[in-house]
């Protein structure tokens, strides 16, 4: 039978009310507290996952459902989507424990649950409000950007900070440019966010599972993280699509549309694969620290300083990860 090996897990009596509260707090943190959104989202499925693994599937579903009830104050679409997300991630963890999945398989399943939740939300939204609903959101978003200069909030801020109108207009113009560009790279931002959430979710879950005598596959040491060499093609293709000259414009606008599509695909590839090689670059740097026997505090301080200069970190870490493909600073055993 499926989940036979779960029968050996000690079924400590968990307080369902406490688990509902913990799930609700994680949900509140993910939606309401700036800076803790990803952390809250990573913790969101953990209580229900533990209940599922302990064989209390019904309690896990109740935990997911009751913790989302407050969301009905803001609409009817988000609560069932969040509930489905929690249940899908919980089932993924239960299946991973039963089948003894490697860590990256479980992370991939949780990533798929979060990505699937976005797709499910869009599908339900279109079914409720019609096919033109998404274009309506886009139109409202662009209208707000165009009218940002008339927003009294900016005028009040300028008076408070004693900013000249010309300087305020320059700031508004830059903000408008960023906000118009943001939807183009939203898929890449979501993919990176879901990857961080899924990784953090596994780390939190593994720590809690071990404390409850639940066997789960450990990660490789961070120093040994690696990527297949052919992943470099993702960032190469992305850079080519971003850097190729514009094709010009025909009467029907087909070439201009092709330019925009190339930019969108290229930027998102650069974001996704740039993130992967940034993580690999940090792993390489960690390996260099180990070679020189730097202490943990010194390692954390150096990495924190690099991230403090954010622009430098965005360049240094991915570049270090890319160079490691050929240099193999950590002397890892790789398939040729």
Task: Write the DSSP assignment of 5-40 as a string of letters.
Answer: GGGGS------HHHHHHHHHHHHHHHHHSTT-HHHH
Question: Would you say residue 298 has pLDDT above 90?
Answer: no
Counting other chains too, the contacts that 109-114 makes at CB distance below 8 Å and 24 or more residues apart are 110/45, 110/197, 110/198, 110/201, 110/202, 111/194, 111/195, 111/197, 111/198, 113/45, 113/85, 113/88, 113/89, 114/41, 114/85, 114/89, 114/194, 114/197, 114/198
* Residue ranges per structural domain of the chain: 4-211, 225-327
Give the pLDDT confidence of 154-198 residue by residue, as tens digits. 777 667 767 777 777 787 888 888 888 888 999 999 999 999 999
pLDDT, averaged across the chain: 84
Which pLDDT belongs to residue 246? 60
Strand (E) positions, 52-167?
none
d(CA 101, CA 216): 8
Burial environment of residue 86 by CB neighbours within 10 A (0 to 12, 13 to 18, 19 or more):
buried
Q: How confident is the model at residue 8 (pLDDT cuts 50, 70, 90)?
A: very low
Q: Are 231 and 238 in contact (CB under 8 A)?
A: no
Across the range 18-36, mean pLDDT stands at 88
Across the range 32-52, mean pLDDT stands at 89
Question: Would you say residue 249 has pLDDT above 70?
Answer: no
| Among the listed residues 103, 310, 108, the one whose alpha carbon sits nearest the alpha carbon of residue 225 | 103
Give the pLDDT confidence of 61-105 residue by residue, as tens digits. 999 999 999 999 888 999 999 999 999 999 999 999 998 899 999
C-alpha 233: how far from chain center: 22
Across the range 138-150, mean pLDDT stands at 80
In the numeric block, which tokens belong to residue 102?
Answer: 């490697």
Say which residues have a Cβ less than 8 Å from residue 112's Cβ, sequence separation at least 6: 92
Say which residues have a Cβ less than 8 Å from residue 331's Cβ, sequence separation at least 6: none
Question: Would you say residue 236 has pLDDT above 90?
Answer: yes
């Amino acid at each position: 039978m499926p989940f036979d090996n779960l029968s050996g897990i000690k079924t400590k009596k968990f307080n369902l009310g406490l688990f509902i509260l913990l799930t609700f707090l994680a949900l509140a943190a993910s939606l309401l507290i700036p800076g803790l959104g990803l952390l809250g989202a990573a913790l969101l499925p953990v209580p229900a996952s533990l209940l599922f693994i302990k064989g209390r599937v019904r309690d896990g579903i109740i935990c997911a459902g009751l913790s989302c009830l407050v969301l009905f104050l803001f609409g009817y679409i988000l609560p069932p989507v969040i509930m489905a997300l929690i249940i899908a991630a919980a089932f993924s963890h239960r299946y991973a424990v039963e089948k003894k999945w490697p860590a990256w398989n479980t992370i991939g399943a949780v990533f798929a649950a979060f990505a699937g939740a976005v797709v499910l939300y869009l599908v339900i939204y279109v079914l409720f409000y019609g096919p033109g609903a998404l274009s309506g959101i886009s139109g409202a978003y662009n209208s707000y950007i165009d009218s940002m200069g008339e927003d009294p909030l900016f005028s009040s801020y300028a008076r408070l900070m004693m900013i000249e109108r010309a300087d305020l207009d320059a700031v508004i113009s830059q903000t408008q440019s960023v906000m118009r560009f943001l939807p183009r790279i939203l898929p890449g931002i979501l993919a990176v966010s879901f990857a961080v959430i899924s990784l953090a979710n596994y780390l939190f879950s593994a720590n809690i599972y071990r404390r409850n005598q639940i066997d789960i596959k450990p990660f490789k040491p961070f120093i040994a993280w690696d990527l297949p060499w052919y992943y470099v093609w993702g960032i190469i293709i992305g850079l080519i699509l971003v850097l190729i000259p514009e094709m010009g414009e025909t009467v029907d606008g087909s070439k201009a549309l092709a330019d925009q599509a190339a930019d969108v695909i290229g930027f998102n590839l650069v974001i996704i694969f740039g993130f992967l090689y940034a993580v690999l670059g940090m792993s390489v740097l960690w390996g260099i620290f180990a070679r020189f026997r730097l202490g943990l505090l010194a390692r954390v301080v150096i990495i924190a300083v690099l991230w403090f200069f954010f622009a430098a970190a965005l360049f240094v870490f991915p570049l270090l990860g890319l160079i490691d493909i050929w240099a193999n600073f950590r002397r890892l055993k790789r398939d040729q």
